[in-house]
Chain A
Amino acid sequence: MKFDILKHKLVPHHEILSQEEVEKLLKTYNIKKEQLPRMLLSDPVAKAIGAKEGDIVKIIRKSPTAGISIAYRLVVKEII
């Protein structure tokens, strides 16, 4: 049996951003992709949602201070 980790309650919601969304994100923060926090291509969630190297993943978490908090991560092969 294979367990769907995305359904586990400790795993927050992940989604891959579309090209337009990526452009908008980089513009709002005035950054290059490399300035985002990173996540490994080998990360179980990255595998589960089928992220590719260079994708940006949007993570929606429950936050004890803010209710909901949103973060973005760049998918990389390895963390330098």
Chain B
Amino acid sequence: MTPAKKVIGEIVFGLLSPEKIRKMSATRIITPDTYDEDGFPIEMGLMDTRLGVIEPGLRCKTCGQRVRDCPGHFGHIELAMPVIHVGFAKTIYGILKATCRACGNLLLNQKEIEKFRKAYEEVVRRGENTSNFAKEVIKQASKASKCPYCGKEKLPIEYDKPTTFREAGHKMTPSEVREWLEKVSEALGDDLKLLDINPKVARPEWMVLTVLPVPPVTTRPSITLETGERSEDDLTHKLVDIIRINQRLQENRDAGAPQLIVEDLWELLQYHVTTYFDNQTSGIPPARHRSGRALKTLAQRLKGKEGRFRSNLSGKRVNFSARTVISPDPNISINEVGVPIDVARELTVPIKVTPHNLEEMKELVKRGPNPKPPAGVKYIPGVNYVIRPDGRRVKVTEENANVVADRLEPGAIVERQLQDGDIVLFNRQPSLHRMSMMAHKVRVLPYKTFRLNLAVCPPYNADFDGDEMNLHVLQSEEARAEAEILMKVQEHILSPRFGGAIIGAIHDHITGCFLLTYKDKKFKKDDAIRMLSAAGYRGKVEDEMSGKDIFSKILPEGINLEYKAKACVGCEKCLKEKCPYDAYVVIKDSKLITGVIDEKSIGAFKGEIIEYITRKFGNEKAREFIDRVTKLGIAAIMIIGFTTGIDDEDIPEEAQLQIKEELEKAKRKIQQLIKAYNEGELEQIPGRSLEETLEMEIMRVTGRARDRTGEIASKHLGMDNSAVIMARSGARGSMLNLSQMAGCVGQQAVRGERIHRGYRNRTLPHFKKGDLGAEAKGFVSSSYKKGLSPTEYFFHSMGGREGLVDTAVRTSRSGYMQRRLVNALENIKLEEDGTVRTTTGEIVQFTYGEDGVDPMRSIRGKAIDVDLVLREVEHGK
């Protein structure tokens, strides 16, 4: 029999009174022993069966139920002497400071109290925090030197962490404190609220414990080790200590032992009770296990990352999920995820058995949990569990598979292992936007990693340097339908973040397409066939094809586009179709006329063609295009061939000389500036000091020097250079990276200034004091390829360190901000009438975003792209 379900009406936070503790106690605990020789719980011991049962077979003496049904019941310990509750020591300190020892009144006169009463009402009405108010009251009251009611002198109170109070140097016993607090409750009555105490649910003297509640055994279950030895919970250990000392204290006191011994034991009892609540209380050594490990007591169960809140309440572990390392697979669709066989065998999908699928399910169950696939097939799903119509869960094994299959009947649920096409959720932390968790279709594959298409790396922000991802198998039809319609990868090609594509080609895809379509490269028929068939094209192929024609074959029909490619250098006057860099893309009726295909066309974050297809033909077509274009890119790069190495940064000797000359020139210019500064001839920039002016001028010179050396270097790095191809096409790296490798690294800065800290008046002992020159202040004139001098290396590390610290600080701060925003906005919802409202229907925005535009369906944030519409009309005629 299960007890009737109860509904929580309200929750009141207050203190437990000694009477309440006794009243809710199932038994008083008097013996520190737990079990007798037969291993049976001792009566009135810590494992008394009235506190609940944890062993199967036993019945609880309080409620008569067995293991899983008995919720457990509290017991209590009568403390021989009162002890301070550490959790309230600060509150007690406040009260002692603010009240009179003799009469218990607040050390404020009637007028002041009246004033505070009024102020309190106001604070409550405003719904503000009353704890700050109490601080104010205590501050005021503790100023008094004499009680305004009984005239007794107020002695200074000191507080020694964690539980000691002194009145003018005299150490107060917990009993004295308790008596004082009793007087306070008596004298203050309803005014206790001024001290932020609700007299209805808490009286100050209850903060000094006379009775200690003993939590049910179900909260501190003992575990039986394989050796048969019983191991008790840390809380039980602590309670044993408390009872032992409590007993000794009682005996000694009753026998009239010397005051000193009683006080020592009392102190010890206080220590045990304190560490029972919080074993990390500052000021006292933590209680330890025999092995030397610090005990995990009440506070430790709740606190921190591994505590109840963060580990069990805010974040829970779930079933039907898997986690492993990810690796790339360019051959699966962006909608798919490769799942290792081992994982697929563990994860299951529940299938309801009906008269219609009964036979099919019987066949499935017969396979057992580890079926041998037929020849030529690598994997077929088996069944791990069958849930019978009565709710019993039956584990399917090789031995019982046939029996279970025969007994299968409609109404049962078969938990089938994953198979190709099952829909699952795939997630990579940190889950910063909704694309961090998308639905994929399963592809069961060999080996041990999750496989994903490279085009979905950007939304997950994933790479393969050891990243791990989580996978969740959906367990209901509704969830699967919802995931399929709303969460599938192809539904997220356009990002709601900026209204453009977030899924698209990266790295080699872009390089490949660039090489394929740059200028009018021609390909032999067999190469063209190889590339196009890899891209999934099935159709006619001409004898000799240009790269642009090959690319055009995979474009869906009806595309008309015109834009500048990533490779565009921004000439003063754009020659459009006649661009010498082939950077003006024109696509007419799905034929690439001019322009090279690069990041701007197909890349994630930028891809014009991807965006166009998604908007015009929908997600399905866009997915198809992404799958094809990435495969085409890879086929092209493989056939054309591509490599990069350190010799890509080789520049001819004359260029190196030029660079050297440029650097010398810059250094001379800096010396001139310093000279002018020293002689007071430097022309001051308005609003800047002379020093600042000099620094700015020097920074400008060093900046220009780096740019100039970069220019010289790039002059010798042409489109025949792999590194340049990657940088210009947007596949990877930038021209700045290249000029730092080939030309010069440039000025290193910390907080936007030249490096100036270190030794007295100089950055390093390698330089003269007061040296303001380029080298002494962090200018790195070497290139990465040439290598840095020791001082340059050191300055470079300083600049690099700043970058690392910045990222670390930024991520933690933006993470905190994100949590706060999510918390504040999580319940706000867009209603059908276009308004944005809270759960109570209060309007936040009258029209979503003021313009009612869904950013995902916008064109980079705008509702319409006028140019595009005009062009469509033009082509339509």
Tell me the A residues contacting B by CB distance below 8 Å. 29-31, 34-37, 63, 65-67, 69-72, 80
The one of A30, A34, A72 in contact with B846, judged by C-beta atoms closer than 8 angstroms, is A72
* Interface status of B833 (Cβ within 8 A of chain A): yes
Q: Is the CB of A29 within 8 A of B833?
A: yes
The one of A34, A35, A66 in contact with B847, judged by C-beta atoms closer than 8 angstroms, is A66
> Which of B109-117, B299-307, B834-842 lines the interface with chain A?
B834-842
Q: Is the CB of B842 within 8 A of A69?
A: no
Q: Is the CB of A37 within 8 A of B850?
A: no
The one of B835, B840, B841, B851 in contact with A66, judged by C-beta atoms closer than 8 angstroms, is B851
Cα-based distance from A62 to B847 in the complex (angstroms): 14
Minimum Cβ distance to chain B for residue A52 (Å): 21
Tell me the nearest residue of chain A to B833, going by C-beta: A29
Minimum Cβ distance to chain B for residue A68 (Å): 9
Known pairs A35-B842, A36-B843. 4 more at Cβ < 8 A?
Answer: A31-B841, A35-B840, A70-B846, A80-B127
The one of A29, A35, A65 in contact with B851, judged by C-beta atoms closer than 8 angstroms, is A65
Tell me the nearest residue of chain B to A68, going by C-beta: B850
Per DSSP, chain A at the interface is mixed
Tell me the nearest residue of chain A to B846, going by C-beta: A71
Contacts of A66 in B (CB 8 A): 847, 849-852
Q: Is the CB of A63 within 8 A of B850?
A: yes
9 contacts between A and B (CB under 8 A): A29-B843, A30-B833, A35-B843, A63-B850, A65-B849, A65-B851, A66-B852, A69-B847, A70-B846
Tell me the nearest residue of chain A to B858, going by C-beta: A65
* Interface status of B325 (Cβ within 8 A of chain A): no
Minimum Cβ distance to chain A for residue B266 (Å): 51
Contacts of A34 in B (CB 8 A): 842
Minimum Cβ distance to chain B for residue A32 (Å): 8
Cα-based distance from A29 to B851 in the complex (angstroms): 17
Tell me the nearest residue of chain A to B849, going by C-beta: A65
Tell me the nearest residue of chain A to B127, going by C-beta: A80
Minimum Cβ distance to chain A for residue B866 (Å): 14
Q: Is the CB of B841 within 8 A of A35?
A: yes
Tell me the B residues contacting A by CB distance below 8 Å. 127, 833, 835, 837, 840-844, 846-847, 849-853, 861
Cα-based distance from A69 to B840 in the complex (angstroms): 24
Minimum Cβ distance to chain A for residue B862 (Å): 9
Minimum Cβ distance to chain B for residue A22 (Å): 15
The one of B837, B842, B853 in contact with A65, judged by C-beta atoms closer than 8 angstroms, is B853
Minimum Cβ distance to chain A for residue B629 (Å): 33
Cα-based distance from A31 to B846 in the complex (angstroms): 12
Cα-based distance from A36 to B853 in the complex (angstroms): 22
Minimum Cβ distance to chain A for residue B224 (Å): 57
Cα-based distance from A29 to B834 in the complex (angstroms): 10
Contacts of A63 in B (CB 8 A): 850-851
Minimum Cβ distance to chain B for residue A62 (Å): 10
Cα-based distance from A69 to B851 in the complex (angstroms): 8
Cα-based distance from A30 to B835 in the complex (angstroms): 11
Minimum Cβ distance to chain B for residue A78 (Å): 9
Q: Is the CB of B850 within 8 A of A29?
A: no
Tell me the nearest residue of chain B to A34, going by C-beta: B842
Minimum Cβ distance to chain A for residue B859 (Å): 13
Cα-based distance from A70 to B852 in the complex (angstroms): 12
Tell me the nearest residue of chain B to A70, going by C-beta: B846
Q: Is the CB of A29 within 8 A of B847?
A: no
Q: Is the CB of A29 within 8 A of B835?
A: yes
Cα-based distance from A65 to B851 in the complex (angstroms): 6
Contacts of B851 in A (CB 8 A): 63, 65-67, 69
Most buried by A among B833, B843, B849: B843
Tell me the nearest residue of chain B to A66, going by C-beta: B851
Minimum Cβ distance to chain A for residue B124 (Å): 13
Minimum Cβ distance to chain B for residue A45 (Å): 18
Cα-based distance from A77 to B664 in the complex (angstroms): 72
Cα-based distance from A69 to B849 in the complex (angstroms): 10
Minimum Cβ distance to chain A for residue B818 (Å): 23
Contacts of A36 in B (CB 8 A): 842-843
Minimum Cβ distance to chain A for residue B128 (Å): 12
CB-based closest 4 A-B pairs: A66-B851, A69-B850, A65-B851, A66-B850
Cα-based distance from A1 to B837 in the complex (angstroms): 42
Most buried by A among B837, B846, B851: B846
Contacts of B846 in A (CB 8 A): 29, 69-72
Tell me the nearest residue of chain B to A64, going by C-beta: B850
Tell me the nearest residue of chain A to B837, going by C-beta: A35
Contacts of A65 in B (CB 8 A): 849-851, 853, 861
Contacts of B127 in A (CB 8 A): 80
Minimum Cβ distance to chain B for residue A29 (Å): 6
Cα-based distance from A35 to B843 in the complex (angstroms): 6
Minimum Cβ distance to chain A for residue B62 (Å): 46
Cα-based distance from A69 to B847 in the complex (angstroms): 8
Cα-based distance from A37 to B841 in the complex (angstroms): 11
Minimum Cβ distance to chain A for residue B465 (Å): 40
Minimum Cβ distance to chain B for residue A21 (Å): 14
Cα-based distance from A65 to B394 in the complex (angstroms): 59
Tell me the nearest residue of chain A to B851, going by C-beta: A66
Cα-based distance from A34 to B843 in the complex (angstroms): 9
Q: Is the CB of B849 within 8 A of A37?
A: no
Most buried by B among A35, A65, A70, A71: A65
Contacts of B849 in A (CB 8 A): 65-66
Q: Is the CB of A31 within 8 A of B847?
A: no
Cα-based distance from A50 to B847 in the complex (angstroms): 27
Contacts of B842 in A (CB 8 A): 34-37
Cα-based distance from A35 to B845 in the complex (angstroms): 11
Contacts of B840 in A (CB 8 A): 35
